[in-house]
Amino acid sequence: MTSIDAGPFGALRVAPSILAADFGSLASAVREIDAETDWLHVDVMDGHFVPNVSIGPPVVKSLRQYSARFFDCHLMMSEPGRYLEAFRAAGADGCTVHVEVGSTATLIDEAHSMGLRVGLAANPDTPFSKVAPFLGDIDLLLFMTVFPGFGGQSFIGDVMGKVNEARREVDANELALDIEVDGGIDLETAPIAVDAGANVLVAGSAIFNRPDPLEAAHELRVAARSARS
């Protein structure tokens, strides 16, 4: 069951990615940025869908004690269906699966039936046409602005065409859907993504690699808001 309200669809949100935090002191890293966190972005990598291994359900369960924010779990996994229930039980509020792994309709149904908010992610080279058929069935569309697997990469601006296409579709059909961007989001690229139509901004390095992560998250929010006004 979804434990925490995600907030209204389409509202501007900052989602710090804990991938860039110090894993030796995750609880304090999460608490430190709490006031500027709308969603907490949890990057799950299985060493198969992406060439890296990161976080699993036990970490989500532990962090749940330290944050009441919406846990936005990004499953970079070849077989996410095997782990949805474990993430839900650990305290995930939303789980995002990649369209590239297939079985998309089944995964969406399974995650919804568990009470999870469901996201669908697309890699930078995956065309909009692959996710378009599912827009009415999901809660979140995640456009990767880097190839998944590692933090600290450069924003791929070409993805903004797809973001714009999705935003037009969502608005024209009045869909209850958030549009999230993930990868290389910083003070310079956040306004570009918001201009293109994104409303949820994931940022790892631009927050946790700064001396004052709370201030960095605040600055990101201000930069994103300026693009909206």
Catalytic residue among 43, 72, 139, 186: 43
Report the residue from 116, 205, 217, 223 that binds ligand DX5 according to the rule CB under 6 A. 205
| Smallest distance from ligand DX5 to CB 34, Å | 18
Please report how close the Cβ of residue 182 comes to Zn ion at its closest, in angstroms.
4
As given in the structure block, the two tokens for residue 139 are 């809660």
Interface residues with Zn ion (CB under 5 A)?
A: 43, 74, 182
Name the nearest CA neighbour of 197 among 164, 149, 158. 164
Enclosing H/E stretch for 178: strand 178-182
* CA nearest to 180, candidates 107, 127, 118, 133: 118
Size of the site for ligand DX5 (CB under 6 A): 21
Judge whether 43 counts as a catalytic residue. Answer: yes
Contact 186, 206 (CB under 8 A): yes
Piece of 58-66, 94-102, 168-176, 198-206 that binds ligand DX5 (CB under 6 A): 198-206
Give the strand order in the sheet containing 140-144.
Answer: 13-16, 200-203, 178-182, 140-144, 117-122, 94-98, 70-76, 39-45
Interface characters, 129-168, with ligand DX5 (x: CB under 6 A):
-----------------x-xx-xxx---------------
User: Shortest distance, CB of residue 55 to ligand DX5, whole angstroms?
Assistant: 11
Q: Which residues are catalytic?
A: 43, 182
